[in-house]
């Protein structure tokens, strides 16, 4: 399996309703490092998984939509708990939509909340 990974970061604000979230029920900020891995069993006709420049551009566009935003106020997350897992899937789905015509492997998004905690989402292969 071949893979290409790119990294971005974003700073968001949100609240997580529910007793399980303790103090995170209140509005708070989070800084995420987003690692997006593009995986494929085969290389394309250019002998690459996906152009790294394109991958970086797409991930930057997706994270920019969330950067410095209060997620509680965004229509995309109305009535949604914006846990790290939910955000990883959202980024995955948005990246996938933007590369569908140029990439046929699988995509894995890992959101690092800190140097000791992270969550991931990996979708099925596109091809």
Q: What's the 3-state SS for 5-25?
A: EEEEEEEEEECCCCHHHHHHH
Residue 12 lies in a domain: yes
Reduced to 3 states (helix: H, G, I; strand: E, B; else coil), residue 1 is coil
Residue 103 lies in a domain: yes
State the Cα–Cα distance between residues 122 and 127, nearest whole angstrom.
14
Higher-confidence position of 31 and 125: 31
Residue 125 has pLDDT above 80, yes or no: no
Residue 127 lies in a domain: no
Residue 107 lies in a domain: yes
Residue 127 has pLDDT above 70, yes or no: no
Whichever domain contains 74, its CATH number is: 3.30.479.10
Residue 48 lies in a domain: yes
Confidence of residue 124 (pLDDT cuts 50, 70, 90): confident
pLDDT digits (tens, 9 = 90+) for 76-119: 999 899 999 999 999 999 999 999 999 989 999 999 999 999 99
Range of the domain at 48: 2-122
Residue 118 lies in a domain: yes
- Count up the domains in the chain and report the number: 1
Cα distances from 110 to residues 14, 79, 85, 122, in angstroms, run 19, 23, 9, 9
The helix or strand, by DSSP H or E, that contains position 95, with its residue range, turns out to be helix 84-99
Question: What pTM value is reported for the model?
Answer: 0.93
The answer for 106, left when phi > 0, alpha when psi is -120 to 50, beta otherwise, is beta
Residue 101 lies in a domain: yes
Name the burial class of residue 115, with classes exposed (0-12), middle (13-18) and buried (19+) by CB atoms within 10 angstroms of its CB.
exposed
């Amino acid at each position: 399996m071949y893979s290409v990974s790119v990294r971005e970061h974003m700073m968001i604000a949100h609240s997580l309703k529910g007793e399980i979230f303790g103090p995170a029920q209140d509005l708070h900020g989070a800084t995420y490092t987003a690692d997006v891995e593009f995986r494929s069993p085969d290389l394309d006709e250019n002998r690459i998984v996906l152009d790294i420049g394109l991958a970086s551009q797409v991930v930057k566009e997706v994270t920019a939509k969330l950067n410095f935003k209060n997620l509680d106020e965004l229509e995309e997350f109305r009535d949604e708990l914006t846990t790290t897992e939910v955000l990883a899937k959202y980024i995955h789905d948005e990246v996938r939509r933007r590369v569908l015509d140029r990439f046929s492997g699988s995509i894995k998004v890992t959101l690092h909340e800190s140097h000791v905690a992270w969550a991931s989402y990996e979708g099925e292969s596109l091809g």
